Chain A
Amino acid sequence: SQQGEEDPQALSIQEGENATMNCSYKTSINNLQWYRQNSGRGLVHLILIRSNEREKHSGRLRVTLDTSKKSSSLLITASRAADTASYFCASSGGSYIPTFGRGTSLIVHP
């Protein structure tokens, strides 16, 4: 069974708006990562947050982690049409091997 589950499954917004995606996981983790996948391509790593961190920023990306709720969120600020992609969370527990969720499909309309 998969560890992480993203919500919503699909998100459609206008350019310039913020996009928020959530991820829930079931067991304790060492770290959680977010990946992006453009249509027909492989996944690309965006950001990693460790279990002892609560928030992390990278450019227009902001990731939060709430270990008490076993959840994480990815915020993309001032979205662009080029942000259109699927976004996956991947959590790692005792093993270094991440378990991926089903993804959120984001469409940003110009």
Chain B
Amino acid sequence: NAGVTQTPKFQVLKTGQSMTLQCAQDMNHNSMYWYRQDPGMGLRLIYYSASEGTTDKGEVPNGYNVSRLNKREFSLRLESAAPSQTSVYFCASSEAGLSGLSYNEQFFGPGTRLTVL
């Protein structure tokens, strides 16, 4: 099993450009998440999806949109990139969610390093 995969690994954008980060998991997990990681800030939740067809905002959703395309795939879109969105983006998945499980081990992808000039 590949686990959680993310594409691309690296991306450079100019201010105002748009792009979509792709994420897929092959563990049949209910929940999927998008985080950003900035130096000294730890991981901050952007959006999450408890199950196919549902999405919710996290701590820092402004400037982003998401799509839960199916149970496997969860994409993150930047409509008009800004330098403040320069970061490392991680996708994660977990079995918990509407399944009602109280534990929630998350499985992370390798990350996408995004630079916005």
Residues of chain A having any CB pair with chain B under 8 Å: 2, 30-31, 33, 35, 40-45, 48, 50, 88, 90, 92, 96-103
Contacts and interface: CB of A to CB of B under 8 A. Distances in A.
Contacts of A101: 42
Interface of B: 4, 31, 33, 35, 40-45, 48, 58, 90, 92, 94, 96-97, 101-111
Given A30-B102, A90-B106, 15 more contacts: A2-B42, A31-B103, A33-B104, A42-B4, A42-B108, A42-B111, A43-B90, A43-B92, A45-B105, A45-B107, A88-B43, A96-B97, A97-B45, A97-B48, A98-B104
Q: Is the interface of A mostly helix, strand, loop or mixed?
A: strand
A14 B55 CA distance: 45
A39 B64 CA distance: 26
B9 to A, nearest CB: 10
B93 to A, nearest CB: 11
Contacts of B48: 97
Contacts, number: 60
A8 to B, nearest CB: 13
Contacts of B90: 42-43
A92 B35 CA distance: 16
Contacts of A41: 110-111
A90 B37 CA distance: 14
Report the 9 A-B pairs with minimum CB-CB distance, sorted nearest first.
Answer: A42-B108, A102-B42, A100-B43, A96-B96, A96-B104, A43-B108, A45-B105, A100-B42, A42-B110
